[in-house]
Amino acid sequence: MGHRLKDERVTRMSTQTILVVDDDPQIRDVLSMALERAGFEAVLARDGAEGLSQAKAINPSLAVLDIGLPEMDGLELCKAIRKDSDLPILFLTARDDEVDRILGLELGGDDYVTNPFSPRELVARVRAILKRSGGSVSDAAVLPEAALKIGRLTLMPDSHVCKVDDAHVTLTSTELTILSKLMSRPTQVFSRPALVDAIWGPGMVVSDRTLDSHLRNLRSKLADAGCTDAIETLHGVGLRMGPCLGS
């Protein structure tokens, strides 16, 4: 699905729209200024209900969701968005120990920033997620020559299509990037630091729990589709692709 802006204030095709949902007006202002200085168009919402309405109306490039929203919190909002969209999502959270719950199996968040946060770090995280997501491409634009295939698993990164046999598997942009990196070099064993650098970029601080959560989510989705041996862990060494034949 293509991205469109809420109104005609920005007409440049290169501008990407970021939806910010936070009930704190000061944080909304800080994020809006930081994002717009970085060349993005910021659209603001004060609560989960307004955020969901905006997400459906403007089809943003990415959403920044505060966890502690009134009425519909950020986790519920993420679930509602995920029902019919693979919109990249960055969470704002007050505590590191929420990370597993935020990026857990059911939610599909792409990354998080702990509050208080650096606006510069948040913008860097937004750019990293957008780089991983690579924009949206319709099914009609799928290029067969771009497909990666191992056993029963097929991945077309450019069109964001993942299938086990004929069953489609819905992945977040981060999950797709992890799988694409592993499948592109199926015999290589990636150390955890090397995998983090390949996905989030050198110098980006990412906790082990964040990587573990994405891997757990990815494995669960592939297993549900019938591929239980897609990713192998070599303890003390790293990760590599499995044969993708199991059921």
In which element (H, E) is residue 168 found?
Answer: strand 167-168
pLDDT digits over 59-95, tens only? 999 999 999 898 898 989 998 998 888 899 999 988 7
Residues 203-228: what's their mean pLDDT?
89
Contacting residues for 50 by C-beta, under 8 A, at least 6 apart: 21
**What is the CATH architecture of 17-133?**
3-Layer(aba) Sandwich (3.40)
- The per-residue pLDDT of the chain, averaged, comes to 84
Domain ranges of the chain: 17-133, 139-241
Tokens of 224: 């549900």
Q: Domain 139-241 is in which class?
A: mainly alpha
State the SS3 of 122-190: HHHHHHHHHHHHCCCCCHHHCCHHHCEEECCEEEEHHHCEEEECCEECCCCHHHHHHHHHHHHCCCCCE
In DSSP terms, which residues pair with 43 in a beta bridge?
19
What is the C-alpha to C-alpha distance for residues 176 and 161, in angstroms, rounded to an integer?
Answer: 9
Cis, bond preceding 60 (omega within 30 deg of 0): no
Torsion of CA 105, 85, 124, 67, to 10 degrees: -60
Q: Which amino acid is at 10?
A: V
Q: Minimal CA–CA distance to 173: which of 227, 215, 135?
A: 135
Count of other CB atoms within 10 angstroms of residue 51:
28
Which range is most confident: 32-36, 106-110, 146-150? 32-36
What is the residue-wise DSSP string for 214-241?
A: HHHHHHHHHHHTT-TTSEEEETTTEEEE
DSSP state of 40: P
Residue 133 exposure: Cα atoms within 13 Å on the Cβ side? 26
Q: Calculate mean pLDDT across residues 101-118.
A: 77
User: Could you report how far apart the first and last alpha carbons of the chain are, in Å?
Assistant: 32
Mean pLDDT for the stretch of residues 169-178: 90
pLDDT greater than 70 at residue 141: no
Enter the tokens of residue 87.
């919109």
Contact of 109 with 64, CB cutoff 8 Å: no
* DSSP summary character for residue 141: G
Structure token digits, residue 43: 């659209």
In terms of pLDDT, which residue wins out, 33 or 136? 33
